[in-house]
Chains A and B, each alone.
Chain A
């Protein structure tokens, strides 16, 4: 993956408006962003594009986010891809982490939080505005 200039992020959310907004912000930050609105489309993109990180909503039509996360973490080709699970339901945090998500963000989230979280995993670019303290304390 080192040869890649841009890191690719897959955003999976059936709320198209949110997915679009997230896409714009992340592209603005220099990431290549793919969006999917359901598991089938997501699977296809994962297979074809090999994203570096997945932002995954819990509630999706058909297969839900937990199930997708579980599947990805069990598959050898995708188990190392970080998953940021997002949900409007706070109670999804525990099952999300148990399913293999690397981090959980409750909706609504601020872009700053999202960007600092992503940058921790991808170390691609420093996050602008108020993100200094986050990047200073990278694990």
Chain B
């Protein structure tokens, strides 16, 4: 019972939960231990087997007993070598340090006096200069009172591993904290390597896999800086052998687990390293123990860390392996986090950048993405990795993930005719650290050709060199098609514009000439350079300037108009006819110009001829008429009826001839659009009365009755309206048997004055009614009744009435007579 009790006491004292050190309290009271003293033999047997060192010291501080574990811990081959040794003698072979680092003598620790009756538990580091080893020991001391004399019991526990763990844990925490401080993982890894050396290894090498799957040395540390250089040289010259997938860095990466070579010998190297030079190098560098641990995070191997003991003549043990694995697991996680963070930041940056590029393009990200015609790219100039968004792949006709992530693949997709231009632009952007923007064609796998706009921005690394390009690609095929067709129609228009026989001038809203074709330039007798920027009005003759200005405002208001003007030029009178439209281009007016000087001259010649003709024909008539009238006056008192009759007939025929000439001239003018009117206010009622009086003089056989409407003021051409009235009345007389009355009436409705002329004549066949007002048309019955005429009177009358804004029509019953109506608007303007 007692033995077991004591044993349990000891055991309790050495229990450690996990590998970490935990102090156990001594709960046993001395009295209880002493109450059941065990036999010597039993003690010895027990102590021998205890997994802890036991050292007993007498009152003279001499070691009186040590078990084998105790001897081992103090680096003594056998326990008997310790017996009878004064405690301070140990100082000769062992350096003892307090936990805080102060060196102390064994005499001070294995001291009977010091122990007294109080239990003590202290932590010490001991160093063995001979083997260069060190050990952490926990020494629990206790006074044991016995009949033969009291002694001190020291129970020693090896806490080296625990202490290492503790240190390792501290290191890991420290590394975690330090690494987390920086976002540049290469810097982090170098820092990590620096912390590993020299505490945990003599060298530390960190290799990372790049995007191409190649191994890159990113960090290296060595206790000896000169050796660091030679390690570096060797690594550069002989990078880790990627064909050997079982050992070394590649082994760790491929296998996903650590490569542990606790003791490296010449022979073991021979098996692993095939190149003799490397073996030699490694041996020269003193390689003796090696651990390579893969860096794995989220199931992905990122690289490996190699730890080497060389100069320190140490060898890694299982604990070290576990420690490094723990550290590397932590490091991998931090690096992965850093990378993710970096990536996330890049994404954010990218998003911002895209936003920026889009804002510049006056598009919004949302809009472009929604429209599905945009993709994003991100090109790492250092690793040459070109990342494409899924959308960009789709725009190139590729399936998700089909883009190989290289510039080369991109250039394969660009249309061969655009490739050089695009490549040059990219190179230039990188070279000048400026923005990239190009429109180019791409050829999809289906051979379909699409237009893209690529926009990118160069980002500089911390050294100010181009490190990265970020950008967007937008499918602009639709826009290009629209632009192309616009260009084509533009070209068509341009060729029409250039080659047109008509002059074409484009002006702004004020009339300033923006462009003119050759015909127009010739028209103005100017050079193109001197024509452009001039105002149209400055080219127009003062005589026609006002008219043109009026027309101009009409063009700007109504969109189009036409007219003519005379040029202000020294080249002689030049008349230009124009057709203008302000509806074709916004804020611009297009004028088609044609030189009508010749036509105008011809017209003037005609007019002149007509003028002459009127004079030459009518002037004699005027004289004849005057003298006939004079003659009739002189013969007034002469009783010769025949003479009077003859003179009256001459007079009437002169009038008839004058009317015919007038009619022919009128037709010519109507045809030329030159029938002009002189509008004035007059009393239509009075005008009708005067006209009737005139007719009565010559047509005495037909009574004319008039039902008037006094004070019927109207705005019209008095003489022309009189002409219409007389024409219709004369027709009525012509187509009526002698003695039949012609009734004329004037009425008014809300808007018009209505003149009606009614006869009781032969009437008009209904087949004639529609054609009655046509030129040269004569009713079917004129032959029957032997009626002379040209068939122009009603045509002229209808033209006059229509141009006054009135209407003319006829109602007729054959055999009963006709009624002609015409109206004049009361309010003309």
Given A94-B676, A107-B619, A107-B622, CB of A21 within 8 Å of CB of B630: yes
User: If the complex has contacts A93-B678, A93-B719, A130-B693, are A108 and B614 also in contact, measured as CB distance less than 8 A?
Assistant: no
In chain B, what residue has the closest Cβ to A18? B623
- In the bound complex, residues from chain A placing their C-beta under 8 Å from that of B629 are 21, 25, 110-111
B696 contacts A130, C-beta separation under 8 Å: yes
B618 touching A91 by the CB < 8 A rule? no
Output the least CB separation between B715 and chain A (Å).
14
Report chain B residues within 8 Å CB of A59: 611, 615
Chain B nearest CB, measured from A38 CB (Å): 16
Tell me which residues from 98 to 133 in chain A have a Cβ below 8 Å from any Cβ of chain B. 104, 106-113, 130, 133
Question: Are the CB atoms of A134 and B690 closer together than 8 Å?
Answer: yes
Q: In whole angstroms, how far apart are the Cα atoms of A131 and B719 in the complex?
A: 18
A1-43 at interface with B (beta carbon < 8 Å): 15, 17-18, 21-22, 24-25, 28
Taken residue by residue from 597 to 622, chain B's Cβ proximity to chain A (1 for < 8 Å, 0 otherwise) reads as 00000000000001100110111011
A31 CB, nearest partner CB in chain B, Å: 15
Q: A108-B622, A130-B693 are in contact. Are A28 and B658 (CB under 8 A)?
A: no
Cross-chain contact B686 with A28 (CB below 8 angstroms): no
B154-192 contacts to A, CB under 8 A, are none
Report B-chain residues with C-beta under 8 Å of the C-beta of A89. Answer: 610-611, 614-615
How far does the Cβ of B10 sit from chain A's closest Cβ, in whole Å? 143
Q: Is the interface of B mostly helix, strand, loop or mixed?
A: helix
Give A15 Cβ to nearest chain B Cβ, in Å.
5
Residues from chain A with a CB closer than 8 A to the CB of B90 are none
Nearest residue, chain A, Cβ from B683: A137
CA distance A25 to B680 in the complex (A): 30
Give CA–CA (A25, B622) in the complex, Å: 14
Residues on B close to A: CB < 8 A? 610-611, 614-615, 617-619, 621-627, 629-630, 633, 654-655, 658, 662, 665-666, 669, 674, 676-678, 680, 683, 686, 689-690, 693-694, 696-697, 717, 719
Interface size class of A (residues with CB under 8 A): 20 to 34
Q: A87–B784 Cα gap in the complex (Å)?
A: 38
Instruction: Report yes or no: B719 in contact with A22, Cβ–Cβ below 8 A.
Output: no
Task: With both chains docked as a complex, state the minimum distance between the C-beta of B792 and any C-beta of chain A, in angstroms.
Answer: 15
6 interchain pairs, CB-CB under 8 A: A21-B630, A107-B621, A110-B694, A112-B697, A137-B683, A137-B689
Which residues of A (70-109) have their CB < 8 Å from a CB of B? 88-91, 93-94, 97, 104, 106-109
Which of these, B693, B694, B719, contacts A106 with CB under 8 Å? Answer: B719
**Is A113's CB under 8 angstroms from B694's CB?**
yes
A25 touches B615 (CB 8 A): no
Do most interface residues of chain A lie in helix, strand or loop, or is the interface mixed? helix
User: How far, in whole Å, are A93 and B722 apart by their CA atoms in the complex?
Assistant: 14
Choose one: B625, B669, B694, B719; the contact of A104 (CB below 8 Å).
B719
Residues of B within 8 A of A108 (CB): 618, 621-622, 624-626, 654-655, 658
Interface residues of A (CB under 8 A from B): 15, 17-18, 21-22, 24-25, 28, 59, 88-91, 93-94, 97, 104, 106-113, 130, 133-134, 137
Q: Contact: A15 with B678, CB < 8 Å? A: no
A108-B622, A108-B654 known; A88-B697 Cβ under 8 A: no
Q: Is the CB of B690 within 8 A of A133?
A: yes
Contacting pair A111 B626 (CB below 8 A): yes
The 8 Å CB contact of B625, one of A24, A97, A110, is A110
Nearest Cβ on chain B to A90's Cβ, whole angstroms: 7
Question: Closest chain B residue to A129 by CB distance?
Answer: B697
Chain A residues with CB below 8 A from B676, complex form: 91, 93-94
- A59-B615, A90-B665, A134-B690 known; A109 vs B630 contact (CB < 8 Å): no
Which residue on chain A has the smallest CB distance to residue B651?
A: A110
List of 5 A-B pairs having minimum Cβ-Cβ separation, nearest first? A21-B626, A88-B618, A108-B622, A107-B622, A108-B625
Contacts of B626 in A (CB 8 A): 17-18, 21-22, 25, 108, 111
**Minimum CB distance partner of B675 in chain A:** A91
Q: How far is the CA of A25 from the CA of B633 in the complex (A)?
A: 9
Instruction: Decide: A91 near B689, CB < 8 A? Known: A24-B630, A108-B654, A112-B697.
Output: no
A133 engages B619 (CB within 8 Å): no
> With a CB–CB cut-off of 8 A, which chain B residues contact A134?
690, 693
The residue of chain B having its C-beta at the shortest distance from the C-beta of A111 within the complex is B629
A133 to B688, CA, bound (A): 11
Residue of A nearest to B658 (CB): A108
Residues of chain B within 8 A of A107, CB atoms compared: 618-619, 621-622, 658
Bound together, the chains give a CA A109 to CA B625 distance in angstroms of: 8
Q: Is A94 in contact with B678, judged by CB distance below 8 angstroms?
A: yes
Whether B678 pairs with A88 at a CB distance below 8 angstroms is: no
Docked complex Cα distance between A130 and B692 (Å): 11
In the complex with contacts A21-B623, A25-B633, A137-B686 CB distance below 8 A: yes
| Most chain A Cβ neighbours within 10 Å, of B617, B678, B689, B694 | B678
Extra 11 A-B pairs, beta carbons < 8 Å, given A15-B622, A21-B623, A134-B690: A17-B626, A25-B626, A88-B617, A97-B678, A97-B680, A109-B625, A110-B629, A112-B694, A113-B694, A130-B693, A130-B696
User: Which of B619, B677, B719 contacts A88 (CB under 8 A)?
Assistant: B619
Residue of B nearest to A137 (CB): B686
Q: Once bound together, how far apart are the Cα atoms of A130 and B696, in whole Å?
A: 9
Give the interface centre of A21, A112, A130, A134 by most chain B CB atoms within 10 Å: A21
Per the bound structure, the CA–CA distance linking A104 and B717 in Å amounts to 12
CA distance in complex: A18, B662 (Å): 19
Whether the Cβ atoms of B630 and A18 lie closer than 8 Å is no
Which of B622, B625, B674 is the one whose CB lies under 8 Å from A91? B674
Pick from A21, A28, A91, A130: contact of B669, CB under 8 Å: A91
Q: Chain A CB within 10 Å — which of B623, B629, B633 has the most?
A: B623
CA of A137 to CA of B710, assembled, Å: 11
Q: Report Cα–Cα, A112/B678, bound state, in Å.
A: 23
Q: Compute how far the CA of A111 lies from the CA of B669 in the bound complex, rounded to whole angstroms.
A: 28
Is B658 in contact with A90, judged by CB distance below 8 angstroms? no
Q: What separation, in Å, do the CA atoms of A106 and B717 have in the docked complex? A: 13
* Contact between A17 and B689, CB atoms less than 8 A apart: no
A122 to B509, CA, bound (A): 55
Q: Which residue of B lies closest to A15 (CB)?
A: B619
Check if B633 sits within 8 Å of A28, measured CB to CB: yes
Bound together, the chains give a CA A130 to CA B691 distance in angstroms of 12
Choose among A28, A107, A137 the residue with the greatest number of B CB atoms under 10 Å from its CB: A107
Which of the residues B622, B677, B690, B717 comes within 8 Å of A109, measured between beta carbons?
B622
Rounded to whole Å, the gap between the CB of A125 and the closest CB of chain B is: 16
A69 to B360, CA, bound (A): 73
Q: Which residues of B contact A25 (CB under 8 A)?
A: 626, 629-630, 633
Specify the chain A residue showing the minimal Cβ separation from B686. A137
CA A17 – CA B93 in complex, angstroms?
Answer: 169
Q: Which residue of B lies closest to A14 (CB)?
A: B619
Give the CA-CA distance A15 to B686 in the complex, in Å. 32
A25 to B654, CA, bound (A): 18
